[in-house]
Amino acid sequence: MSHKVGIGVLGAGEMGRRHAYNLRRLVPEAQLVAVADPAFQRARQVAKELELEHVFRSLEEMLECKDIDAVLIASPDKFHAQAIQIAASAGKDILCEKPIATNLTDAHEAMGAVEKFGVRLQIGFMRRYDAAHQEAMKRIEGGEIGEPVIFKSLGRDKDVPPISSYQSQLNGMLFYNSTIHDFDLARWLMRDEVIEAQAYATVAIRPEIAEYGDIVASVVNLKFARGAIGNVESYVQALYAYDVRTEVVGSKGSIFIGSLQKTPVMFLTANRRTNDLADHYLSRFADAYLAELNDFAHRILHELPLQVSGEDGLRALAISVAAERSHLRDQPCPVTLDQAEVVARS
């Protein structure tokens, strides 16, 4: 067995660049073999920065490299499911950024290809690799807060997305592109399945994005199979910081994950803030992204079960679909794995 797993990265944008750098410099059991992106100049720039010989315009071209054992998919959301199928048909193991797809039909087809060709698929829910989240999980599993009763989570991105990011329609709406992380945490930390979602959403401060089927902020209430409840808040332009916090309330106590700083009162605006606040997901979860890659490479190399499965990706996606249905229909919606499409966006 080789001492390194050869990995090709699809996508040379912000996320793909970070993964490529980590693979090239900081993952001992992995070898970055190639990078590919239809925006070829972007791919060439990443290859140049990392002194990488192989650079391609497409996944299909990259898969012709004989040294590639696995593919890391960091392309826009819209192309994830198709890329999974192409990589699977070539016999390559896969680490795919979330979401697995932007609808359940494509997700099931991707999962079918993974099963058909006997490859392994991991979805990039990096928060599971964050030290604080892992410590919380250990304490929950150890019974320190008793039986989980309430899940609460919020995710607030700092910067205002450009209108072009909505116009391109390349990524899923807020529930698929951002809130899905919280939906995955809800399943994982509560050790239970979400059975119903009720979403409230707004475009009040940016009505123009409604034309593209997206929202600025949302609150999603959750019901779990064993009777617990939850609440998830998402917001795309907080301005003051990149702010991610989670709480699990149990029958014996509560666990908080993440905080702004250790002061009882804080005033937050775009122009007045403290200097130690996170400003981007790549800085807040830098260690988690690296731990995720090290774990993936190790498990692929030593033929161990993956820690975050395609099934996890499918089930988190199902919650996102239910949240969107609830938003569009203005009523609670069950979480189901069936492939019925969301009604047309108005």
| CATH number of 97's domain | 3.40.50.720
What's the domain count of the chain? 2
pLDDT of 322-338, one tens digit each? Answer: 999 999 999 999 999 98
Flag whether 311 is in a domain. no
pLDDT at 342: 54
pLDDT of 170-183, one tens digit each? Answer: 999 999 999 999 99
Assign 92 to helix, strand or coil: coil
Judgement on whether residues 136 and 273 belong to the same structural domain of the protein: yes
Give 152-221 as a DSSP string.
EEEEE-SSPPPHHHHHT--S--HHHHTHHHHHHHHHHHHTS-EEEEEEEEE-TT-GGGGGGT--SEEEEE
Judgement on whether residues 33 and 54 belong to the same structural domain of the protein: yes
Domain CATH code at residue 195: 3.30.360.10
Q: H or E stretch including 276?
A: none
Judgement on whether residues 138 and 123 belong to the same structural domain of the protein: no
Measured distance CA(77)–CA(39) in Å, rounded: 16
pLDDT of 57-115, one tens digit each? Answer: 999 999 999 999 999 999 999 999 999 999 999 999 999 999 999 999 999 999 999 99
Please indicate whether residue 165 or residue 338 has the higher confidence score (pLDDT).
Answer: 165
Judgement on whether residues 108 and 156 belong to the same structural domain of the protein: no
Measured distance CA(116)–CA(128) in Å, rounded: 28
Model confidence at 259: pLDDT above 80:
no
Amino acid at 208: E
pLDDT at 275: 47
Judgement on whether residues 265 and 295 belong to the same structural domain of the protein: no
Share of the chain above pLDDT 90, in %: 86
Mean pLDDT of 249-271: 65
Flag whether 344 is in a domain. no
Judgement on whether residues 267 and 194 belong to the same structural domain of the protein: yes
The residue whose two tokens read 């199902």 is: 318
The range of the structural domain enclosing residue 224 comes to 131-281+316-334
pLDDT at 286: 87
Measured distance CA(337)–CA(134) in Å, rounded: 27
Judgement on whether residues 180 and 202 belong to the same structural domain of the protein: yes
Model confidence at 269: pLDDT above 50:
no
Share of the chain above pLDDT 70, in %: 91
pLDDT at 345: 46
Judgement on whether residues 177 and 232 belong to the same structural domain of the protein: yes
